[in-house]
Amino acid sequence: MARQMSTVLLRPDMILGRTLYDAQGRVLLQRGMVIREQYIKKIRNMFASIYIEDELSAGIDLVETVPVEIRLAMQETLSRQWEHWGQHASFERLTLQPGFARGLREQMKTLLQIVSHTTVIREDLSTLASFDNGTYVHSMNVAIYAMMLGHALQLPESLLIDLGVGAMLHDIGKLWVPAEVINKQGPLTAPEMAVMQRHAEWGHHVLAKQTELSYLVAHCAYQHHERLNGSGYPRGLTGDEMHQFGKILAVVDVYDAMVMHRPYRAGFPPADVMEYLFSRAATEYDLDLVSLFSQKVAMYPLGSTVQLSDGTAALVVRIHENVPSRPVVLIVKGPDGEPVEPEEVDLCQQLNLTITRTHATVIMESID
């Protein structure tokens, strides 16, 4: 039971609602620990938001989509291969570490079992990333989202496994993009953008040579930045020229990239990113895939804060499987911004109320 909070609002003596891990998968702070003053600066330097436990979060049952031990095992598998390849300045004659392909496929089979029993992803997966493990968490999140879509499309298991492996490795080409370009906080110059865009080609080049992997895996790297109207890269493919995996990856990759927090910017709220996808559906993104994705991912994740059309502020406490965009919320602030006696409202029943905004930082400040 926990609610999401920006680390800007952390105060001493709050209770941690979800265990925090570093880039190596080591425990930094265990769930249930009291957050001391000396922890707060380090937490803020590593995380944009975390979960806390308090009276308001008592009714929020935050169930992890993928158990932490499975996520950590996936992260370790991926990081070992990235570190192995990252030691090579050139990507010619690169090979996979022994057992990597087999191990990753087994992990994707486990992930498939999980997503096949998951109707809606209720949590905000971007909150699992620290600033120093975002690359690995992004890859895992894209794999989860892609396999959710693939399963909903009733793809056969063999293709779903290839899709998951391809999603996990879609950004592998960034290993050869200079760090100063990857980590630049301002807009990229035209030459820098040209280098960045090469990562799709480089990823395809490396993965296509790995005989242990399906060639479809290489196409995930090659096509995840292509767009239906030909405005993408590296080849400017149009709808009919794109593989189904490329269309799926295009949707889920940009979604997770936009909601993910970065050291130089906060992530966009999931609802805003979903609106962005819909605004460009049928031109850049496949409309049917965007529509299906919106039914599989909660636009208002559990424990997040929202503003309703009557001006009140609330916490999302439960999410309906069939209508995830109309959750059960706990009203905690009135239209004047003052705390009120908490009251649950089911937006599937209270049809005159809508969610008008989501808030990443300030909505709960006067309650804490």
Q: Are residues 272 and 201 in the same domain?
A: yes
Residue 186 belongs to some domain of the structure: yes
* pLDDT given for residue 366 in this prediction: 36
Mean pLDDT over residues 303-312, rounded? 93
Is the pLDDT score of 364 beyond 70?
A: no
* Half-sphere exposure (Cβ direction) of 231: Cα atoms closer than 13 Å: 7
Instruction: Specify whether the CB–CB gap between 232 and 254 falls below 8 A.
Output: no
Query: Can you give the pTM of this predicted structure?
Result: 0.92
pLDDT band, residue 101 (cuts 50/70/90): very high
Is residue 108 in a domain? yes
Q: Is the pLDDT of residue 95 over 50?
A: yes
Give the chain's domain count.
Answer: 3
- The more confident residue out of 225 and 81 is 225
Q: What percent of the chain has pLDDT over 90?
A: 70
Q: Assess whether 280 and 321 both reside in one domain.
A: no
Per-chain mean pLDDT for the chain: 91
* Domain co-membership, 273 together with 313: no
**What tokens were used for 2?**
């926990």
Whether residues 111 and 47 share a domain: the answer is: no
User: What CATH number is attached to the domain comprising 34?
Assistant: 3.90.105.10
Classify residue 365: in a domain, yes or no.
no
Containing structural domain, residue 338 = 305-359
Same domain (yes/no): 252, 310: no
